[in-house]
Amino acid sequence: MQIIEGAGRWTAPAGDANDWVEQLRVPDLSVGTYCIPAGGLDEQSPHTEDEIYVVTAGRARIVTPDGAAEVGPGSVIFVPAGEEHRFVEVTEDLALLVVFGPAYGSRAPSRRAE
């Protein structure tokens, strides 16, 4: 057992940037916290792993090719690997507990020698 201290807790990002902190990593999953300040822009790219977001603080909209939804504390969002997604209209500082399966970046495409 391991208690993951600080996971999902709002931390003010330095400057205008968003903040991503990975708090746990094992081969089959990783857990971290993603924070976007009110008015901030989410410029992430699709991930190669399945992802679950749990909104722990703040309010925004999530937009995917299939639609958009308002999210706030308690919202749980599943985003399959490869799906474009973005948090927009961040009206309150947004803190997200993020779970990747398998671990974040572990399915990254390998580079072939040419």
SS3 annotation, 55-114: EEEEEEEEEECCEEEEECCCCEEEECCCCCCEEEEEEEEEEEEEEEECCCCCCCCCCCCC
Assign 109 a pLDDT band (cuts: 50, 70, 90).
low
pLDDT recorded at residue 114: 41
Q: Is 31 helix (H, G, I), strand (E, B) or coil?
A: strand
The domains located in the chain, with CATH, are 19-101 (2.60.120.10)
For residue 55, what are its two tokens? Answer: 């909104």
pLDDT recorded at residue 16: 62
User: How big is the CA angle at 101 (ends 83 and 10), to the nearest 5 degrees?
Assistant: 85
Q: Choose between 114 and 22: higher pLDDT.
A: 22
Lowest mean pLDDT among 12-26, 61-75, 79-93: 12-26
pLDDT digits (tens, 9 = 90+) for 7-31: 999 988 776 678 899 999 999 999 9
Instruction: Tell the residue number behind the tokens 């495409």, with chain if given.
Output: 109
pLDDT recorded at residue 99: 98
